[in-house]
Chain A
Amino acid sequence: MVNRVTSCEEVWREISNYVDGDVDATLRSTMDEHFRTCQRCASVLAGTRNVAQLYGDERMLEVPAGFSRRLEKRLAQNSAGSGRRWSSWSAWLIPVAALALIAGGLQLTNSLTRRHQVKSPLAVPGQNIPADLVVVVSSGAKIFHVPGCPFIHDKDSERTMTAKEAIHEGYAPCARCLRKYLKTSLTGKPGMEVAEGVSEGEEEREELVSASAH
């Protein structure tokens, strides 16, 4: 099987490159001539090309039954898993955040609107009393007054402060000297000025309210 152009061994060595078209024109021409005269090498060439063509066919790429379905399912799970990771965060994060906001809101509201515990459960809280109004309190009493109020008990222990401070300490406004700030069943509306010609009976009831507050 000797060929005058090239040997069979040389052809075999290059036959794969020849099939791929990866040989230069000179070598290709030489090999072509060899194939025309060498039956064995022509058979090897046919077989090599046949192998590449058969295995290169799409039909050789077989997958197990159900492969596509399982792949699609796993990809979907992965995608959903990403979503679930977010959901698992949001599942507790959102309610916690909401609770925090509610709690913060309540805290803020309380801080703005909370009424301080008054010393007397019967005291009537004041309305719209100026915060910087100078008032006096005395030890042993639960009422704060405008200075000079005749209803101040134990005047020796008077302390002067602002209305805000007094309220903070739990004092209630005097129903006499601070009546215009009181919302009572007698005055009806907060801030209502007491009429000049108030009757004695009314004054007595107001004193009762004040006394009950005491």
Chain B
Amino acid sequence: MQIRVPLRIYAREDVRTASKMSEPDMVLKSPRPAGGAREQDLISSVQRGEHESFYELVRPYERRVYAAALAILRNEHDAEDAAQEAMLKAFANIRQFRAEARFSTWLIQITVNEALMRRRRERIVVMEGIDDRRDGGRNEESEYAPRDFADWREIPSEALERKEVRQRLAEALATLDRKYREVFVLRDMEHLNIQETAQALGITVASVKTRLLRARLMLRDLLAAGWEQGWFSRLPFEKGTKPW
């Protein structure tokens, strides 16, 4: 079975350039980790045959690798195995990595390829297809009207300190259809850009944008509903304020 390894992935031109940002505070800042000189040194070491440096090289990305695999396979055991296998393939093909690419993106793309290959092999897609039909027959081209939650309050990031909140968010994500979940995870959690996401999943840029929009709006609705159901009722709100 042929291993798909992205040979050349060029670092993107960040669309969020200063000239385009009329209101910088309104634009999300992607926390894509920069590799830095240390990472480049480690890559060079491994490419020269110092294999013991490989774990140090990939350790900062192990959680992202696992999350990418989990988004596609939806099973913790399979995701962990796929993540490990992807790491091994990255190790085996480290000489193919080119410095103009971002190592993390290269690693994530190998992981996505591995997970997609496993899903095809294990026919998980059949079950996913059934899940997708539960979506009420909506297709990604149809308009999605977000629910009217006029009293929506943003969930402060401090809430993520609570495992229960993280669990709720993970559960909400898991309810998304596969096609939306994959794009959302790669784009908003793995911080791949639009083109990289499209390339990794083998879909068009337009599809990435459409699916990402739908995923974000659906999650927003799910979280708002969770808000109403008291998911976040024990959040440390400021004294005198109430979320309802």
Chain A interface residues (CB < 8 Å from chain B):
9, 12-13, 15-22, 24-25, 28-29, 32, 39-40, 43-44, 46-64, 67-68, 70-72, 74-76, 78-79, 82
A-B contact pairs, 30 of them (CB 8 A): A13-B143, A16-B209, A20-B15, A21-B20, A22-B15, A25-B20, A25-B22, A28-B23, A40-B148, A43-B149, A44-B217, A47-B152, A50-B220, A52-B188, A53-B157, A55-B189, A55-B219, A59-B161, A60-B170, A63-B66, A67-B62, A68-B59, A70-B80, A71-B62, A74-B88, A78-B88, A78-B91, A79-B51, A79-B52, A79-B54
Q: Nearest 9 pairs between A and B by C-beta?
A: A47-B220, A16-B213, A61-B63, A21-B27, A43-B152, A21-B16, A50-B154, A59-B160, A51-B219
Chain B interface residues (CB < 8 Å from chain A):
15-16, 20-23, 26-28, 30-31, 51-52, 54-55, 59, 62-64, 66-67, 76, 80, 83-84, 87-88, 91, 143-146, 148-152, 154-155, 157, 159-161, 166, 169-170, 173, 184, 188-189, 191, 194, 209, 212-213, 216-217, 219-221, 223-224
- Decide: A46 near B154, CB < 8 A? Known: A19-B28, A75-B87, A78-B88: yes
Tell me the complex Cα distance, A19–B151, Å.
Answer: 20
CB of B108, distance to nearest CB on chain A (Å)? 12
CB of A68, distance to nearest CB on chain B (Å)? 6
* Chain B residues near A16 (CB-CB < 8 A): 209, 212-213, 216-217
* Chain B residues near A64 (CB-CB < 8 A): 76, 80
* Chain B residues near A68 (CB-CB < 8 A): 59, 62
- Decide: A55 near B15, CB < 8 A? Known: A20-B28, A71-B87: no
* Chain B residues near A51 (CB-CB < 8 A): 188, 216, 219-220, 223
Tell me the complex Cα distance, A60–B84, Å.
Answer: 20
Seed contacts A9-B145, A16-B213, A63-B66; 17 additional CB < 8 Å A-B pairs: A13-B213, A25-B22, A40-B148, A43-B149, A44-B217, A47-B152, A47-B220, A47-B223, A51-B188, A51-B219, A52-B188, A54-B160, A55-B184, A55-B219, A56-B191, A62-B170, A64-B80
Q: Name A's interface SS.
A: helix
Among B23, B31, B84, residue most surrounded by chain A Cβ atoms (within 10 Å): B84
B146 touches A60 (CB 8 A): no
Tell me the complex Cα distance, A25–B17, Å.
Answer: 12
B84 touches A28 (CB 8 A): no
Q: Which residue of A9, A28, A50, A62 is within 8 Å of B22 (Cβ)?
A: A28
A9 touches B143 (CB 8 A): yes
B63 touches A63 (CB 8 A): yes
CB of B215, distance to nearest CB on chain A (Å)? 8
* Chain A residues near B55 (CB-CB < 8 A): 71-72, 75-76
CB of B3, distance to nearest CB on chain A (Å)? 15
A12 touches B27 (CB 8 A): no
Q: Closest chain B residue to A41 by CB distance?
A: B146
A71 touches B84 (CB 8 A): yes
A55 touches B22 (CB 8 A): no
CB of B157, distance to nearest CB on chain A (Å)? 6
Q: Closest chain B residue to A16 by CB distance?
A: B213
* Chain B residues near A32 (CB-CB < 8 A): 23
Tell me the complex Cα distance, A76–B159, Å.
Answer: 37
Among B59, B170, B220, residue most surrounded by chain A Cβ atoms (within 10 Å): B220
Tell me the complex Cα distance, A58–B209, Å.
Answer: 23
A70 touches B84 (CB 8 A): yes
A17 touches B166 (CB 8 A): no
Among A47, A59, A76, residue most surrounded by chain B Cβ atoms (within 10 Å): A47
Tell me the complex Cα distance, A41–B37, Å.
Answer: 43
B209 touches A17 (CB 8 A): yes
Tell me the complex Cα distance, A62–B83, Å.
Answer: 13
Tell me the complex Cα distance, A39–B154, Å.
Answer: 14
